[in-house]
Every structure is written in C-alpha cells, then in structure tokens.
Amino acid sequence: MVRFYKSVFFGMMFLAFSMGCTSEKNDKVDQTTIKTTELSIYENYVDSEKILLGMPVRLKYDDQAQHLFIQDLPKWGITEIDDSSNVIHQYGRRGRGPGEIQMLNDFFFNDEHLFIVDGGQYFVHKYSREDGEHISSLDYAELRTKRKTIPDNPPPPPMPLNDNNNQLFVTLDETVLIPSHFGEEYLYKAVNWEGDKIADIAKMPEQCSINEDEEVSREALKNKEVPAKDQCQTFPVNDPANPDEIFIIYSAIPKIEKYTLTGEKLWEKQIPETPEVDSLAIDLSNVAEEHPDRRLSAMKVRKYVTGRSNKDGELFLMTYTNLVTRFAPRRPLWIHKFDTEGELTERIKVASEEDLNPYVGMDFEGERMMVNLFMEVGVREYSFKNR
C-alpha cells in the first residue's frame, strides 16, 4: 500500500481500482444482507386420531376456505381438511374409470374446482369443490407437442414425483399449460378446457440442448455452471393478485419471468446469488469432481423446486434441499420472498433436525406455513408472525 502512494499516478490508479472492487464487493454483500429469518418453533398440525396419513408429499393451502389439501401417496388422491383435521372431501381414487387415477403427478385448485394431473393416463381430471365429485377430464396426450426427431413417438413418460420442472400446469382461470419438448420454440402451450390453443408462453432458451455431451456437462458442473440441458428447466406459479398472469421460474439459472396468459412477456428478473443457493452448485461440483465414473446426465441442477404467491402478488420460492441428489449432503429448506417485480426481499430458513419436504402449504392470511417431513407422516405448522 505504501509503495502505491509514493506515486500520485499509481495512487490514483489504486484508488480507482479499490473503489471498483469495493463497489463489486458491496453489491454481493447487499444481496446476502437482505432480511433473514429463521423459523424453528412449530406445532403439529394434523390430529392423527381424526385423519390417518400414509405419506404426504405435497401440501397446498386455501387461505379463503382455510383448508389444507394433502397429496397422500397411499390414498391415490387429494384429501381436503379444515384446521381441526376434519375431512371435507376426498378427490380421486385409484382406477381407470371416470375421475380415477393411475399416477397422480400434481394437483391445482381455484374457488370452484380442483384439478388432478394423471400422468399415467394423460388426463387432467376436474372435480367440484362443492361435493368432491368428478365433473370432466381433459385428454392431453394428443395436445402435447411431439418430438421433431420422432414424429410418431407417443408422449414421454411422466416426470418423477419430486420434479415440478416442465410439467403440465393448471392456472387459476383454468387455462392449461402444456409443456413442450427440447427443440420447440416455446416452453408452454396454453389451451382452454376444450383443448383449443390460446397462446404460446415463454421462449425456449437458445442455449438449451438435450444432446449435451456427458463430459461437457461434467465440466460445467465442476465449474459451478449450469449445463445446457438444464437451461430450460422451469415451473409456473399462479399469481392470485392477477389471475390472468403467470410467473415462470427457471429453477437452475435462476431467473423469474412474468407473462400474461395470452403470451405477452411483462418482465424478467435475474435472481441474485445467496449462500444457500450457491451451496447447491458447490455440492454438484463436488459430486462431478469426486465421482468421475458416475454418469451425471440424469442429475439435474435444481436451485428452486416450487413456489407460492399471495393475494398481493408477492412470490415465495422454495429452495432445493438435495433430498434425492446422490452423494450430496442434505440442505435446510429455505424460502425466498420476492416483491411484485421479482426483487428478493427476504430469506426464510425453516429449521429442523429432520428432512423437510419443500412442497409446503402457505397460509398467508394466518401468517403460517404447513410443512411435512420427508418420507414421514407428520405435518408441522410454522408461524411467521412478527418475524
């Protein structure tokens, strides 16, 4: 430092350089000094004497009705309960009849209807929330864009249960978003309940490629970069404040885009790095480095796995926790809160000695969230009042 200041010229150069480095450093610090909250106190939400759960995997909460919807694997359907663990309705059951299910991939609801995506039969089933009865089904097998390389190929097999990326999605106004394949121009095709096309949504990233070489992918992971095959991994999130709009989350990059359901892009926002998300890239880098004989083509880069939005249009994204990533350490569940323009405003850590499932039910009105244990039966209630 002394030698720099012996010369005015070098002193000025050093000062400019220092200011530049300080600015860059401060930018990174600012990203990680956003309000951070840790939730550690919880109560048991479900009364096991009233409702017997097998293995809940997805939870979604209806603020208005104050009901929790539970996807319970052994029941082959969706159970709707109130805050006293009274069963309101059971939607769907295993079978091949009307409204019956072969593979429950996901479910969605609005004030009047509940929808179940049956990836085994390529149906979306619609049920009445008034009585729980099946109304009709949309056959989406022929609506999916077929692979360009194999024109007569049937639809691909359903994605794993723990993966929301590029899956069929039902919006609040009952528009159905059908995912495209690699090589298509857009990520989703929006259709109405009759199967008529409404719009194309979200341009397919140019850098996305399913044919990426294994070693190229491995080098990308080693360098904490996102392989080309993961550049277009996305999932939608409904916006209750604007039912005719949809968030598109790029789970690996990560990036948020906002679209109307007619396909108009409203805005795009890059998500800043945080230690909890960066740790996931470090984990994959270590796996790629330490297991050279393991094929990594099936290992996806996931930084966010699902999301929820409140009536004000604020967005909450749940981070990945390495629950199903081989050789990588388990990570705590973090929830990131974004404002209506996609700016990160809060980082929430859900503390637990046990592994938590990231598909949580959020009661925004009651300022609490319901979280179930991974591969277990318990459902916890964490309060985020006065955080």
The model's pLDDT over 86-111, given as tens digits with 9 standing for 90+, comes to 999 999 999 999 999 999 999 999 99
pLDDT digits (tens, 9 = 90+) for 174-187: 999 999 877 789 99
The answer to whether position 265 is within a domain reads yes
pLDDT attached to residue 26:
38
Distance CA 198, CA 316 (A): 27
Residue 13 lies in a domain: no
Give whole-number Cα distances, 44 to 89, 225, 239, 378, in Å.
21, 40, 29, 7
| Residue 12 placed within a domain | no
Q: Is 10 helix (H, G, I), strand (E, B) or coil?
A: helix
Residue whose structure tokens are 């350490």: 329
* Amino acid 14: pLDDT: 35
Percent of the chain with pLDDT over 70: 86
The answer to whether residue 131 sits within a structural domain is yes
Q: How many residues does the chain have?
A: 387
Q: Tell me the average pLDDT of the chain.
A: 86
Residue 72 lies in a domain: yes
Does residue 204 sit within a domain? Answer: yes
Decide the pairing of beta strands 169-170 and 176-179: antiparallel
CATH number at residue 294: 2.120.10.30
> Looking at the 3D structure of the chain, how many domains does it have?
1
Is 16 among the domain residues?
no
Name the token pair of 303: 């930084």
State what percent of residues in the chain have pLDDT above 90.
65
pLDDT of amino acid 298? 65
Q: What is the pLDDT of residues 9-51, one digit of tens each?
A: 334 333 333 334 433 333 444 555 799 999 999 999 999 889 9
Extract the tokens encoding 222: 């080693």
Which structural domain, as residue segments, surrounds residue 310?
A: 31-383
- How is residue 73 annotated by DSSP? G
Please give the model's pTM, rounded to 2 decimal places: 0.88
Structure-model confidence comparison of residues 145 and 9, the more confident one: 145
Residue 10 lies in a domain: no
Number of Cβ within 10 Å of residue 297's Cβ equals 13
Q: What is the pLDDT of residues 319-339, one digit of tens each?
A: 999 877 777 888 999 999 999
Closest CA to 304 of 325, 315, 283, 320: 320
For residue 63, pLDDT over 70 is answered with yes
Whole-number pLDDT of residue 31: 59
